[in-house]
Each structure stands twice: as structure tokens, then as C-alpha cells.
A and B are shown apart, each in its own frame.
Chain A
Amino acid sequence: AQSVTQLDSQVPVFEEAPVELRCNYSSSVSVYLFWYVQYPNQGLQLLLKYLSGSTLVKGINGFEAEFNKSQTSFHLRKPSVHISDTAEYFCAVIIRGAGGTSYGKLTFGQGTILTVHP
């Protein structure tokens, strides 16, 4: 079964420090990969996605992620965080080539709460 593992449930960091949020997926098929952010009392907003091509993907708000097929990982990074980055971050996948069983279906990790301290 497809699963997504976010290795850290909470990540505290000081403002202007770098951060990495880790995501691994288990799959014997190809996947599309996504990172979403959820601010309190809001829905999810897409930060970035990997469909194909360059394994380094740049997203909004200065975030980037690197797809590593051999490690089945898609870690999210930001070189310098701000207080406003405090939120919950979700890694998600869609399985490619699974036909009707994948339409509109994102499978999410459990989320990582990023807290940026001044």
C-alpha cells in the first residue's frame, strides 16, 4: 500500500535559520510528489510539486525540494525561515499510472508542525 512518512512531527527553529522537513514515500510505482502548507484555521496551499524533469524543484515563499528516487525521498528545505513560516506542512503523493484509483486522490503524510521562534 502507498504510504507517505514525514519523519518529524514537530520542528522548532529560530528565525533566519535553515530548515529541512523530511518526507519519504514507499511505492513500487512512479509517483507525483507535492508539498502543501496549512496555516491555522485555513485550507491547504500548494508550495511546490514534482512531476518530472529536474529533481530540484523551487516553490513559493522561498521553499525548494529535491526528489531523490533512490532514497524515495522528497525533503523540503528553506535556507532562512521567517516567523510567518510557522504552520503545518504536509507531503503528499499521487500514484502515476494507477488509472481510476488515482483520480483526484492525494495521499498525505501525517504532517510536520514547523514553529519559528524569534
Chain B
Amino acid sequence: KAGVTQTPRYLIKTRGQQVTLSCSPISGHRSVSWYQQTPGQGLQFLFEYFSETQRNKGNFPGRFSGRQFSNSRSEMNVSTLELGDSALYLCASSRDGGLGNEQYFGPGTRLTVT
């Protein structure tokens, strides 16, 4: 079974631009969670989607948004990029996002904002 895939793997953007990251979950998984990983803040939860609905959201500004499609693929968007948005963005899929479900992580998208 193919794992979680994320595209692109690397991105360089300029302050003020916007960016869209994509995540394809494991076949049959309906829940997708997104995390931001930085050296200073560590791993922080952004949001979770299930059946095209955002069920949970972390403490990030409204510039961070996401969506999920009917095939469970998910995208996240960051508008008006700031230098502090430079990070590794990880997505994870699970069967249904239930509390005991194992989350399978993708390799991440490394975003650099200059």
C-alpha cells in the first residue's frame, strides 16, 4: 500500500506571496491532519479534516487554511507569507481520525520564505 505523499517536497517563496501544499493520504484513510515543524516551536497541530469537513483546528492565524476533497486528498494554503512561516509542513492520515487511530506521516514539504 502506498504511503502518504506530499507535494512539492521543497518550496521557496517570497514574503507576501501565498502557497498551496498538497497531501494524498493512504488509500482508504479519510482523516488528514496537518502539522508545522520548526526548530523553535517544535511540532504543532494545524488542523484536521474528515469527509471534507474541518473537525479540529490548532492555534494558528487565519492565514492558514485547508480543505479536503471527496477523494480524501487535502491541501493547505498559507496566504501573505511571513518569514516565520518557514518550516517543515507534515501531513498525516488515519483511518477516521479516531483518538486511538495511528497517524501515518508523509515526508513533509519544506517551505522557505525569503
Residues of A within 8 A of B (CB): 32, 36, 41-46, 49, 51, 90, 92, 94-96, 100-111
Q: Assess the A96–B56 pair: CB atoms within 8 A.
A: no
Tell me which residues from 89 to 105 in chain B have a Cβ below 8 Å from any Cβ of chain A: 90, 92, 94, 97-100, 102-105
Q: Assess the A104–B55 pair: CB atoms within 8 A.
A: yes
Q: Assess the B107–A104 pair: CB atoms within 8 A.
A: no
Which of B14-22, B40-48, B76-84 lies on the face that meets chain A? B40-48
Residues on the A chain within 8 Å of B44, using CB: 108
Q: Assess the A32–B100 pair: CB atoms within 8 A.
A: yes
* Residue total for B at the interface (Cβ-Cβ under 8 A): 29
Distance to closest chain A CB from B31 (angstroms) = 5
Distance to closest chain A CB from B95 (angstroms) = 11
Q: Assess the A106–B102 pair: CB atoms within 8 A.
A: no
Q: Assess the A106–B45 pair: CB atoms within 8 A.
A: yes
Q: Assess the A106–B103 pair: CB atoms within 8 A.
A: yes
State A95–B100 Cα separation when bound (angstroms): 10
Q: Assess the A43–B33 pair: CB atoms within 8 A.
A: no
Q: Assess the B50–A43 pair: CB atoms within 8 A.
A: no
26 sample A-B contacts, Cβ–Cβ < 8 Å, listed by A number: A32-B99, A32-B100, A41-B107, A45-B105, A46-B102, A94-B100, A96-B99, A102-B56, A103-B97, A103-B99, A104-B31, A104-B32, A104-B33, A104-B45, A104-B49, A104-B50, A104-B94, A105-B33, A105-B56, A105-B58, A106-B33, A106-B43, A107-B45, A108-B42, A111-B42, A111-B43
